[in-house]
Structure formats: structure tokens, C-alpha cells
């Protein structure tokens, strides 16, 4: 055996307890209850039940929206006040919504698998710390818009009504209504889709 002493089981358990108390106790009860309730439902199944449970614990989600999986919802403070999901909107599995500012998803909008919506970023800092001052900006996804799988919507972006964002795009600027954008960064491919 080496000269370094291995930590005892009791000291390891004590450290785990301290971490759990420090990390979990500050989480508001509604967050714990939300996680527990929706964690009971398997992905793809119980779509309406999942939506209603989230509404029941304080999220502003239309009861006829469809959540095919439990989106990752995170941010600082009382985040459930910063999310609005409209009637018949659909979020597929593995979506991430960062809620340091407001995210509004309009009626009949659809987010594909793995879509990430971000509301905060950093200014470019000095060479000693490039991730500078944090800034927050809201994101709006218009009615009837479709965000393709694995796309990223960056802070401050408005995706117009009826617009389409192709899969794997990175959207860093507003998308006009009824247009189609693609790429990283996303650029307009079709200026006016048929109505």
C-alpha cells in the first residue's frame, strides 16, 4: 500500500451529505415537485399529462401544448415565470431552454429534437478572461414557426411567425416571418415561403 491514506467511508458520506444539502436545499419546492412528477412519465408517452403537470406546478404552458420529453429548463431565480408556451406548440425530445431571460414559444410552433434556446451569453473579455460580463436577452419563437433538430437559437433572437430554421443551424440574428434559414450562422435561403 502507498503512504497516502484513503478517505474513510464515513468521511466520504459526510462530504456527499454536505454537497447535497448545499446544492439541493436552496432549490425551491416547486422545482423539486416538478422534477419528481414529470420524471415519473416516460418520454414520448403521456404527452398531455406531462404538459398539464408542468402547468399545475406553475409553468405558463398551454394545456394543449405537446411536450414529447421533459425539456431541460434552467437559469437563475424563479425561472418558471420566464417561459411561455402557446396553444398547440410542440417540443420534441431533448430540448434545452435556458431561462435567464424570457422565452416565448408561439401557438403552433414546433421545436425538433435537441433544439437549444439560449438567453444569456458573455461579452468578449480581456485575454485573462475571455468570457466577460454576462448579458441576458429574451428569445421569441413566433406562431407556426418550425425549428429543426439540433438547432441553436442565441440570445435576443426573434424567429418570425411561420419561419423555418433548418436542422443544425445556429441562429444569431432575427429570422423574418415566413422565411427559411439554414447554416451556422444561419442565413436566409428562401425569403418568402408560400402561405
Backbone angles phi, psi at 154, to 5 degrees: -90, 165
Choose the catalytic residue: 113, 122, 127, 135: 122
The answer to whether the beta carbons of residues 65 and 87 sit under 8 Å apart is yes
How far apart (Å, rounded) are the C-alpha atoms in residues 84 and 103? 6
Alpha carbon dihedral 36, 38, 39, 42, in 10-degree steps, equals 160
**SS3 state of residue 98:** strand
Active-site residue flag, 122? yes
Residues in contact with 1: Cβ distance below 8 Å, sequence separation at least 6, in sequence order: none
**Run of H or E including 54:** helix 47-56
- Count the Cβ atoms, other than its own, within 10 Å of residue 115: 25
The answer to whether the beta carbons of residues 139 and 156 sit under 8 Å apart is yes
Cis bond leading into 185, ω under 30°?
yes
* Conformational region of residue 75, where left means phi above 0, alpha means psi within -120 to 50, and beta covers everything else: left
Residues with a known catalytic role: 122
Amino acid at each position: 500500500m502507498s503512504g497516502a491514506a484513503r478517505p474513510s467511508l464515513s468521511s466520504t458520506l459526510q462530504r456527499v451529505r454536505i454537497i447535497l444539502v448545499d446544492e439541493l436545499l436552496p432549490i425551491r419546492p416547486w422545482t423539486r415537485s416538478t422534477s419528481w412528477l414529470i420524471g415519473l412519465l416516460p418520454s414520448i408517452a403521456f404527452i398531455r399529462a406531462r404538459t398539464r403537470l408542468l402547468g399545475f406546478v406553475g409553468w405558463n404552458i398551454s394545456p394543449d401544448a405537446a411536450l414529447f420529453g421533459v425539456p431541460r429548463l434552467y437559469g437563475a431565480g424563479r425561472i418558471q415565470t420566464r417561459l411561455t408556451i402557446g396553444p398547440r406548440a410542440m417540443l420534441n425530445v431533448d430540448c434545452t431552454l435556458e431561462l435567464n431571460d424570457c422565452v416565448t414559444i408561439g401557438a403552433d410552433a414546433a421545436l425538433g429534437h435537441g433544439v437549444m434556446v439560449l438567453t444569456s451569453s458573455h461579452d468578449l473579455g480581456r485575454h485573462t478572461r475571455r468570457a466577460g460580463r454576462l448579458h441576458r436577452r429574451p428569445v421569441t419563437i413566433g406562431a407556426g414557426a418550425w425549428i429543426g433538430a439540433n438547432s441553436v437559437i442565441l440570445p435576443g433572437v426573434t424567429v418570425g411567425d411561420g419561419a423555418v430554421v433548418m436542422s443544425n443551424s445556429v441562429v444569431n440574428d432575427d429570422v423574418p416571418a415566413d422565411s427559411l434559414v439554414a447554416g451556422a450562422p444561419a442565413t436566409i435561403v428562401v425569403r418568402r415561403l408560400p402561405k
